[in-house]
Structure formats: structure tokens, C-alpha cells
Amino acid sequence: MQAPIQAPAASVPAPSGAPVVALRGVTKRFPGVTASDNVTVEIRSGEVHVLLGENGAGKSTLVAMLAGLQQPDEGHIEIDGAPVAVTSPKQALAMGIGTVFQHSMLVPSLTVVDNFALGGVWWKRPDRAGIAGRIEETAKRLGLRVDPYALVSGLALGERQQVEILRALMRGSRCLILDEATAMLTPHEAVGLGELMRRLVAQGIAVIFITHKLNEAIAYGDRISVLRLGRNVGEIGPETLRSATDAENTERIIALMFGTSRAGEGSRGEHRTRVVGDSVLQVENLCSEAGRVPVRDVTFSVRSGEIFGIAGIDGNGQKELAEVLAGQAQSSAGSIRLMGREIGGTSVGDRRKSGLRYVTDDRLGEGTVGIFAVATNFLLKDIGAAPYWQRGIEHPEEIRRQADRHVQDFDIRTPGIQTPVGKLSGGNIQKVLLARELTGAAQAVIFAKPTYGLDVNNIRATRKRIGGAADAGKAVVLISTDLDELLELADRIAVIDRGSIRGIVENGEGARDAIGRLMSAGDDR
Amino acid sequence: MALFTQSFVITLFLGAIAAGIPLLLAGLGEQLSEKAGVMNIGLEGMMLFGAYTGFLAAWASGSPSLGFIAGAGGGVVVASLMALLCVRLGLNQIVTGIALTLAAEGLTALLHFVQFSRTYPRLDGVAPLPIWPLSEIPFVGPVLFNNNAVFYLAIVLVVVFSWIYRQTHLGAALLAAGDKPAALDAAGVDVMRTRAMAVLITGALAGLGGAYMSIAVAGVFVPFMSHGNGFIAIVLAMLARGRPLWVLGGALLFGGSLSLTTALQVAGIDVPTDVIQMLPFAMVMVVLLVAGRKAALPQALGESFVRGAR
């Protein structure tokens, strides 16, 4: 803790030097998923290296392995070219890898100084004055202002982050990992962090910046590695990044993130024959402040037999929009009309009765009750309703008959209808949800990331159900982060960005590029 | 008012101290555990077991000092189970605490029945250690400076704990273990060890408090004699918001209401004991209503720590 920063402030970054830290062929498996699949990444000093990817792309797993929280199953980590095993956070620090996690790792009830002093000999007094002096000195060199005696709970999130960066540097980190560092920040704070990253690399530090936001990756990164489903699908080096325009870079990255443009887009066609009817669901100027991302001025309408897709990078208000539509979150302005009737102010149950269904992406959290039987979960939203209940008395044979029918119709692989739904696989839980939401007098169905986390067969089955719902004349809203899925199923695709719709594209020739342009256009703001 | 004679007031204060010391010791312990993130519901069991082992040792050896040491040891035995189950194995702290309390109640009642149910041995009490010349001060002397060693120890502990919390690395580490264990882990301090140590010290203090009840106050061991004191101490620790001095104040307040029974009897006023015995618990309700809303508890209180889990 004595030497504040090991690389002297005047040292010139060595852009083409040997990597400070490298992951070589790293694979990490968790039950049911391969979180990292043979990933190789090299981190050089004096560079901001962006790890870019959607949620579930395996970014956090890489961070956890570098920070010593998890060990790779295959492959290894190298520091200065030598293979090492990073077995604890303490060891990671000792090797010069400092991590600033998305969720603050400061103790809120302690002052900044005491947070820095954590871990000293137990009966000794922390050297508060000395540490405070070093904090101020380091902060000054980085152009930051930090009050060492402030209580952490009183600091803004951006300030806490600066404190964490300072701490990592004062412990001699040569490689600084910033995990989803801008996720919790205000836009202003995020810009400040970007500038701070530039100053850090100017002092010879290697920065790993993890994000799912394209615009930040391009604005702050020297080198961008794109992760997709646990694999490193491509790297864009500093030369390319600097020589190309932002628009070209964006296009290149979107191609890596969502798969390359394929000529023809052949897989669609069947639903072209669908008869598109009258407008069923009309949303006008819908706003909501209820969620983490505010929904702003959303307008669209969906006709019967039509699939309306909503594309966008995850966390841009998709979940919030779905919840406002379903009635789980309150709207602050605008109207939602179903079959011409205003339903904006009604409860979840009323909306369901008037024919609106919502297939949530949080299957086990809010979609089903894990410890309840499959048969009960089918009726979760109809408890007390005839014919399964009559005058408050349960009619088990009706419930059983309906459950058997669902299990057969939806091909649900379950040991029995009395099996707790939590024991089933993700794909089968999704089928239980689909069976519940797609039966009865549905007029409009909202799907939120319906194939997220499923395997190939279940993805097929789910997509078929979505198509089937539209074939049956329902109006379908399909929210997805998988562009291929939208291009396969949807008739029209809207792009959502920070809670508002950027534009709506007719699906067909050139739709992929048009969507890509909309996604990146939003980043300029 | 004829009620407030000097003997009444002295009896009241001595009673408040006698009843307050076990609360103070257990409350300081609970505060320590809660700071470190362990909700120690087993406090009542630790007190009771300490009361039993303390009484047993004092009776067998004839030495109250050995009794106090054995009482602290008895508390540590129960606390080590708590540390093993909750800290090491990460079981639910509330359920484990309740189980330990019930087990201690059953076990001590059974042992007492087997050993003492015919003889009912009594101890002579503990000789006070007057601090001369302070003990000669009228009124203050007999109340504050003519007590036994455990009383002085408890008061010194208030100061020691305040110092530890404010001035040492250990204090910061304890706070971190309860507020943000992952941060402590990242700083290279063993979270489990920090928490386990806190739980064991809590056990020792609660056991000592229990032994004080059986050896110094009652002179006998009676099944279930801790009589909710452990739970009152939990409330005290919660209301004290991390400050040892507040535990002391709270312990005297509750101790005072516990001792009112005897004091009123000395004054010759006959109130049904059942009514008076409700006083401390009614007091808990009142104090919780007034101050409980603002009580701040550590963020990770009651959560077991698993490295890397979010």
C-alpha cells in the first residue's frame, strides 16, 4: 500500500508492448450453460480494451475469473506472459489486477479513509491522516476531487466509483477492470468516467472496460472485443477503430454482435400468407417513470394476425414497456387501447379479462411459482374461476383434465401434472407459461424475450407458437434482443433505445441494415 | 413523597444494576454480532446455558470467580454451534438461533431436574469489591463503587468496545463484515473468521451475563431463569445503533423497570407481581414505538456470505 501508483506518471504508454494480462483459451462452465467458451483476450498497457456484449454474453464470468472470484475450467490466465492461477481477490490485487465491480464494493457505513484502511492489523489504529494524504495526492494527479473523510453512504454513485478506482490504483494495480461501470451512472457522470479512463491509460495503466453499450465502446475504447454467447467473436484493433468513422465501426460491431448480414433472408415467407385484419392494440404517446429506464412517448399499433417486433440492445426500456402494457407498472401519460377500448388505467386482471396476455421473460420469478404443481401454475391467473372452481370449491377433475390437455398440446416434458414447476427445465417452464397465456380468449399477446436462455429445440417450438398465435388472428408484440428471431417472425420491427422508439421498419429486403442504422443513430445523442 | 426514601432509591438503583448487568453484557455481545452481520437469536440460549454452567461450577468449586469463567465458557459452547451452523455452513440464522435457545432450555431444565431438584442448593452470593475511598461517598458509593468484579468488567467493556469500534482496524473490519462482506473479502480479511470471532465473543458475554444472574443475583439455578432477558438484549442492541454507551443506558432503563417489583415491595406497596413483571416487556414495546423506526441495521445482517455470489 506504500507505493501509490507503480507506473510513473511520466511513462509513455507502450501500445504494441507485450500484453500485461491475457486470457488464453479460457472456458468456464456452469450447470446447464457454458458461460465462457474458449475465450482468448490480450490486454495491453496504455489501452482501454472494451469487452462488449449482450447480457449473458459471458462478460461477467471473464471479470470474475480475472478478479479471482472464479477459476477457469480450461485454459489459463497470463500475467506478463507467464501463466498464473488467480485463486482469490487478494491474489488478483497482489498481481496488479484491480477490479471495480458494477455494484459498489465499498462499505457504506465507513468513511473513505476507513474503507482504504480495511484489512490492517486488527488492534492497530488506522493511519487515517497518512492515507488521507495519499488519497488526495493520487486524486489530484488524476484530476479528481475526493473528500477522504466523507462517509461512503453520503457519496453519489459516480463518486463512489472514483473512490474505487483510486483505491485500486493505490494498491498498485497495473490493470484496472471496470465492470459495467456506466450502468449506474447519470449521463454526465458517464462522460466524466470516459475522460478519467483516457487519463488512466495516458499514465500507462491497462483498462478493461466492460459494457453492453455500443456508443460507449466506440467513444472510449482503443480496442474492442465483442463477446457473444460466451465466445469472443471478433476484435477490432486501434488502427481500424481510429481510421474508420463511428458509423462504420458501429456497423462492424453490430455485425459481430448480432451475426453477419446474410443475403436473401430466406427463412421467412410462411407468415406472409397471413390475413392481417383490423387494428387490435393501439398505443399512443405512452410514457412511464415507474421502471429503471423511463418509457418515453411510445406510439405504435398492432393489427390482428400481425407480429410487431421490438428490437434493441437489452436494458433500453423493453422490460419497462412490457410491464406498462401488461399493467404491472403504471403509465404516467398516453393511452393503451385494446379493441378500441381504453385499458390504460385498468388492473392486470382486467386487462387479462379483456384479452391482453403477457408472456414474461422472468419465467420463474413472476411467471410461475416454482413450488406449485404444473397443474396449479396453468391456473395461476384464473384462481377461483369457473369451471375449475365453483362457489369457491375446487374441482380437481376439471383442473386435471385441463392440465393433461395442455401437457399434450404443448408437448411439456414433465414427470406429471403434480410435479412442482421449478423442477422442470427452462424450456418446459416456458411451455407452461405459453400454455397458460395462449389459451382462452386472447386478443393480443406480448412476448418478452421468449427464447432467452432456451436451447435450440425449445427456441424452435417457442417461435412456432408465436407464429401460431398470429396465425390464429391475435395481435402479437414480440420483444427480443435476438435480431435473427425478429427478422424470422415479425412483420414490422421497431427499434427501442433508452425508452423511446427510434423508428419502425417493414420486415423484408434490407431490414437488417435499416435496423442497424436505427440502433446506431440513437447513439449520437 | 414518602415513597422516595433513601433506602427505596438505593434499592431501586442496586436492583437496576443487578438486573441491568446481564442485559448490558448480552446486549454488548449482540451488538458485536450484529455489526458483523450475524443476527444472534440464540442469545437467550447462550445466557441460560451460561447461567447453568456458571452455577454448577460455582457450586462445585465454591468459587464464584470460577463460576463466572465457566459461565462464559458455557456461552461459548452454544455460540460455537451457532458459528459452525450459521457462519461456516450458512444456515438460516433465525431458525438456528431459535433451535439453540429451545435446546438450551430443554437441556438445562433436564440437567437441573436430575441434579438439583431434591436438594435445591443455594450459593452465598458474591462478595463486593469496594473501591475505597470512592465507596464511602454517600449514596453514590454504595450504588456504584461497592459492587462485584463482573459489574466493573461490564462497565470497562463499554469503554473498550467504543474504542475498538472507533479506533481500530478490527472495528472497521467488523462493520464491513456486516455491511458489505464482499468488500472485506476483497480487502483480504477472512469474513467467516471475523464473523465467527464475533459470535464466540457474544457467547462468552451472554454466558457471563447468565452466570451473573444465577451466581450473583439469584444464588440458585432455576430452569428458564433467563426469562426473556436474551430477547430484551437483542432489542437493546438494535436500538443502540452500534453505540455501546447506548446499550449501557438501555440496560439500566430496562434493569430499572425489572427491579421496580422489589423496590416497590421494599416501599411497602403491594402490587401484584404479575403486573409488575410485565413492565420490562411493555417498556420494550414503548421504546420500539418511539425509537425503533429509525434503527439502522447493517445491510448484510442475517445473510450468509458466499464468495462471488451476487
- Residues B274-306: pLDDT tens digits? 776 677 778 778 877 877 666 667 888 888 887
Instruction: Please say whether the beta carbons of A297 and A196 come within 8 A.
Output: no
0.95 cut: is pTM over it? no
Q: Say yes or no for a CB contact (<8 Å) between A120 and B188.
A: no
* Interface contact A120, partner B, CB < 8 A: yes
Residue A410: which domain range? 368-440
- Evaluate whether residue B63 is within a structural domain: yes
* Interface contact B60, partner A, CB < 8 A: no
- Band of the pLDDT at A153, cuts 50, 70, 90? confident
Query: Same structural domain for residues A178 and A278?
Result: no
**Cell (9 digits) for A265:** 433472408
Measured between CA atoms, how close is B174 to chain A, in angstroms? Answer: 10
- Evaluate whether residue B251 is within a structural domain: yes
CA neighbor of B63 nearest in space, from B211, B241, B280: B211
Query: Same structural domain for residues A33 and A180?
Result: yes
Residue of A nearest to B173 (CA): A118
* Interface contact B252, partner A, CB < 8 A: no
* Interface contact A117, partner B, CB < 8 A: yes
Write a three-state SS string for A429-497: HHHHHHHHHHCCCCCEEEEECCCCCCCHHHHHHHHHHHHHHHHCCCEEEEECCCHHHHHHHCCEEEEEE
ipTM above 0.85, yes or no: no
* Interface contact A35, partner B, CB < 8 A: no
* Interface contact A125, partner B, CB < 8 A: yes
Q: Say yes or no for a CB contact (<8 Å) between B168 and A124.
A: yes
Chain A contacts of B169, Cβ < 8 Å? 117-126
**Cell (9 digits) for A50:** 472494451
Range with top average pLDDT, A166-180, A214-228, A305-319, B41-55: B41-55
More confident residue, A280 or A32: A280
**Which of B31, B165, B179, B180 would best serve as a mutation to test chain A binding (most A beta carbons within 10 A)?**
B180
Tell me the pLDDT of chain B (310 aa) as tens digits: 456 677 777 878 888 888 899 999 999 999 999 999 999 999 999 999 999 999 999 999 999 999 999 999 999 999 999 999 999 998 999 999 999 999 999 999 999 999 888 888 888 878 888 887 787 887 777 778 888 899 999 999 999 999 999 889 999 999 999 998 988 887 778 899 999 999 999 999 999 999 999 999 888 999 999 888 999 999 889 888 889 999 999 899 888 887 776 676 666 677 776 776 677 778 778 877 877 666 667 888 888 887 765 4
Query: Same structural domain for residues A125 and A213?
Result: yes
Q: Say yes or no for a CB contact (<8 Å) between A118 and B189.
A: yes
Tell me which of A257, A290, A314 is where a domain ends: A257
Mean pLDDT of A282-306: 90
* Interface contact B301, partner A, CB < 8 A: no
Predicted pLDDT of residue B308: 61
**DSSP SS3 for B233:** helix
% of residues, chain A, pLDDT over 70: 91
Predicted pLDDT of residue A523: 45
- Evaluate whether residue A141 is within a structural domain: yes
Q: Say yes or no for a CB contact (<8 Å) between B186 and A89.
A: yes
Measured between CA atoms, how close is B218 to chain A, in angstroms? Answer: 37
Predicted pLDDT of residue A10: 38
* Interface contact A107, partner B, CB < 8 A: yes
* Interface contact B37, partner A, CB < 8 A: no
How far from each other are the two terminal CA atoms of chain B, in whole angstroms? 63
pLDDT in tens, B75-118: 999 999 999 999 999 899 999 999 999 999 999 999 999 988 88
Predicted pLDDT of residue A12: 42
- Evaluate whether residue A360 is within a structural domain: no
Chain A contacts of B307, Cβ < 8 Å? 69
CA neighbor of A20 nearest in space, from A81, A90, A95: A81
Tell me which of A257, A281, A309 is where a domain ends: A257
Measured between CA atoms, how close is B190 to chain A, in angstroms? Answer: 9
Chain B contacts of A110, Cβ < 8 Å? 172, 175-176, 179
**Furthest CA-CA distance within chain A:** 82
Query: Same structural domain for residues A56 and A74?
Result: yes
**DSSP SS3 for A235:** strand
- Evaluate whether residue A4 is within a structural domain: no
- Evaluate whether residue B303 is within a structural domain: no
Pick from A39-53, A90-104, A243-257, A314-328: least confident: A243-257
Task: Indicate the pairing of strand A389-390 with strand A393-394.
Answer: antiparallel
Tell me which of A424, A440, A456 is where a domain ends: A440
Query: Same structural domain for residues A223 and A147?
Result: yes
The A residues from 126 to 155 touching B (CB cutoff 8 Å) are 126
Alpha carbons A313 and A323: distance in angstroms, whole number: 17
How many independent structural domains does chain A possess? 3
- Evaluate whether residue A16 is within a structural domain: no
Predicted pLDDT of residue A5: 39
Residue B143: which domain range? 6-117+133-294
* Interface contact B182, partner A, CB < 8 A: yes
What is the rounded (10 degree) CA torsion for B14, B19, B21, B26? -170
How many independent structural domains does chain B possess? 1
- Evaluate whether residue A225 is within a structural domain: yes
> DSSP letter string over A336-359?
EEETTEE-TTS-HHHHHHTTEEEE
Angle subtended at Cα A201 by Cα A195 and Cα A204, rounded to the nearest 5 degrees: 155
Measured between CA atoms, how close is A176 to chain B, in angstroms? Answer: 15
Predicted pLDDT of residue A524: 41
**DSSP SS3 for B157:** helix
**Which of B32, B166, B169, B170 would best serve as a mutation to test chain A binding (most A beta carbons within 10 A)?**
B169
> DSSP letter string over A359-418?
E-S-IIIII--TTSBHHHHHTTT-TT-TTTEETTEE-HHHHHHHHHHHHHHTT---S-TT
Q: Say yes or no for a CB contact (<8 Å) between B187 and A106.
A: no
Its sign, for the CA torsion A319, A321, A325, A329, is positive
* Interface contact A186, partner B, CB < 8 A: no
- Band of the pLDDT at A13, cuts 50, 70, 90? very low
Q: What is the mean pLDDT of chain A?
A: 84
Alpha carbons B54 and B191: distance in angstroms, whole number: 31
Location of C-alpha cell 443513430: A521
**DSSP SS3 for A296:** strand
pLDDT in tens, A284-295: 999 998 887 889
- Evaluate whether residue B304 is within a structural domain: no
Option in B167, B170, B183 nearest A107 (CB): B183
Instruction: Please say whether the beta carbons of B76 and B50 come within 8 A.
Output: no
C-beta atoms surrounding B153 within 10 Å: 16
Is the model's pLDDT at A234 over the cut of 60? yes
The B residues from 280 to 299 touching A (CB cutoff 8 Å) are 298-299
Chain A contacts of B179, Cβ < 8 Å? 107-110
% of residues, chain A, pLDDT over 90: 28
CATH of the domain at A98: 3.40.50.300
Predicted pLDDT of residue A39: 92
Predicted pLDDT of residue B234: 92
Alpha carbons B113 and B131: distance in angstroms, whole number: 39
Residue of A nearest to B179 (CA): A107
Alpha carbons B113 and B110: distance in angstroms, whole number: 5
Chain B contacts of A69, Cβ < 8 Å? 307-308
CATH of the domain at B94: 1.10.3470
Query: Same structural domain for residues A436 and A446?
Result: no
- Evaluate whether residue A165 is within a structural domain: yes
Predicted pLDDT of residue A459: 82
Query: Same structural domain for residues A423 and A461?
Result: no
Query: Same structural domain for residues A331 and A477?
Result: yes
Instruction: Please say whether the beta carbons of B306 and B90 come within 8 A.
Output: yes
Option in A70, A115, A122 nearest B170 (CB): A122
Option in A108, A119, A125 nearest B188 (CB): A119
* Interface contact A180, partner B, CB < 8 A: no
C-beta atoms surrounding A350 within 10 Å: 12
- Evaluate whether residue A2 is within a structural domain: no
Measured between CA atoms, how close is A453 to chain B, in angstroms? Answer: 19
Option in B167, B172, B299 nearest A118 (CB): B172
What Rg value do the Cα atoms of chain A yield, rounded? Answer: 26
Alpha carbons A502 and A484: distance in angstroms, whole number: 19
Q: Say yes or no for a CB contact (<8 Å) between B176 and A118.
A: yes
pLDDT in tens, A476-513: 999 988 788 898 899 999 999 888 998 999 988 888 88
Query: Same structural domain for residues A292 and A411?
Result: no
Predicted pLDDT of residue A266: 42
Residue of A nearest to B183 (CA): A105
Instruction: Please say whether the beta carbons of A35 and A202 come within 8 A.
Output: no
Is the model's pLDDT at A11 over the cut of 60? no
Alpha carbons B21 and A511: distance in angstroms, whole number: 78
Alpha carbons B296 and A196: distance in angstroms, whole number: 35
Query: Same structural domain for residues A199 and A325?
Result: no
- Evaluate whether residue B124 is within a structural domain: no
Query: Same structural domain for residues A170 and A221?
Result: yes
Query: Same structural domain for residues A161 and A130?
Result: yes
Instruction: Please say whether the beta carbons of A197 and A216 come within 8 A.
Output: no
Which residues are CB-contacts of A41 (< 8 A; sequence separation ≥ 6)?
Answer: A22, A23, A49, A51, A62, A225, A232, A235
More confident residue, A67 or A259: A67
* Interface contact B189, partner A, CB < 8 A: yes
Q: Residue A208 half-sphere exposure, CB side, CA atoms within 13 Å? A: 32
Count chain A–chain B contacts defined by CB atoms under 8 A.
Answer: 74
Predicted pLDDT of residue A1: 40
Q: Say yes or no for a CB contact (<8 Å) between B173 and A124.
A: no
Residue of A nearest to B300 (CA): A107
- Evaluate whether residue B53 is within a structural domain: yes
Location of C-alpha cell 489486477: A97
Predicted pLDDT of residue B309: 55
Alpha carbons A388 and A380: distance in angstroms, whole number: 12
